[in-house]
Amino acid sequence: MNTLPYVTVDVFTSSRFEGNPLAVISDARGLSDAAMQKIATEFNYSEVTFVLPPENPENSARVRIFTPTMEIPFAGHPNVGTAFVLGQQAEIFGKPVGEKLRFEEKAGIVEVGLNRSSGRVTSAAIRAPQPLTIGDTITRETIAGCISLDPGVIATTSHAPVFASVGLNFAVAELNGLGALAAARPNLAGFQAAAGRQTTSGHDFSLFVYVRTSENPWHIRARMFAPLDNVPEDPATGSASAALAAYIVSLAPDADMNVGITIEQGVEMGRRSIIALDVVKAGGVVTDVMISGSCVPVMRGEITLHD
The residues that are catalytic are 47
> Could you give the dihedral angle defined by the CA atoms of residues 231, 236, 237 and 243, in that order, rounded to the nearest 10 degrees?
140
What CA–CA distances, in Å, run from 32 to 24, 37, 38? Answer: 16, 9, 10
**Residue 195, amino acid:** A
- Is 305:3 a contact under the CB 8 Å cutoff? yes
* C-alpha–C-alpha distance, residues 189 and 276, integer Å: 33
N residues, the chain? 307
- What are 80's strand-pairing partners? none
Strand ranges for 12-86 from DSSP E: 20-25, 48-52, 61-66, 71-72
Q: Kindly give the pairing relationship between strand 257-265 and strand 219-226.
A: parallel
